Amino acid sequence: MPRFRLVPDRSELWAEARSTLHPVPVHATGLTGTLELEMHGDRLVLVPPTHVELETQRLRSGNALVDGELRRRLDSRKFPCIRGELTRSTAGKGEGTARLTGELTLHGATRTLDVEVTLRQLDPRTLEIEGARAIDMRDFGLPPPSFLIFKMQPEVQVKLRLIAARED
């Protein structure tokens, strides 16, 4: 069974929260983890114990006030890591896609989520996985921030691009 390890400086997360004033984009690199794969016919299939992690301190908006509030709300000292762990993978709707089910742990709360992803083998030793979905921060015990007329929507759009290199 091929095993791949994420390339942290090439694996990225983008998130965008909406507010009454403007969108609040967040970006991070440095995702870590391992991907286990099996060949099913001519296609690669992710299987457990695949997992991905991100240190919460790596999330950046480019605005020091927003970044400080983000770390405070995520309670980065108490919950320093966001972790996703695959529990099931099925064929997706199109060629090169998969429907992943897994456990996402954020701010000490774990929830089961599904996401449709694309899997591409960039070369014999490199794999790319991309996916996106909305996450409601209230599901993880995080009430949306508000201050005077500034109010955040609870739903955050999240996109991942994972690059993984085959282990020898």
Residue 148: predicted pLDDT: 67
What b/e sequence results for 14-51 when a residue is b if at least 16 CB atoms lie within 10 Å of its CB, and e otherwise? ebbbbeeeeebebebebbebebbbeeeeeebebeeebb
31 or 147, which is more confident: 31
For residue 70, give the DSSP letter.
H
Q: What is the pLDDT at residue 39?
A: 82
Give the pLDDT confidence of 78-87 residue by residue, as tens digits.
Answer: 999 999 999 9
Question: Higher model confidence: residue 40 or residue 129?
Answer: 129
What is the C-alpha separation between 61 and 166, in angstroms, rounded?
Answer: 31
Instruction: Please give the pLDDT value at position 63.
Output: 87
Convert the pLDDT of each residue in 17-71 to its tens digit.
Answer: 998 888 999 999 999 999 999 888 878 899 999 999 999 999 999 988 888 888 9
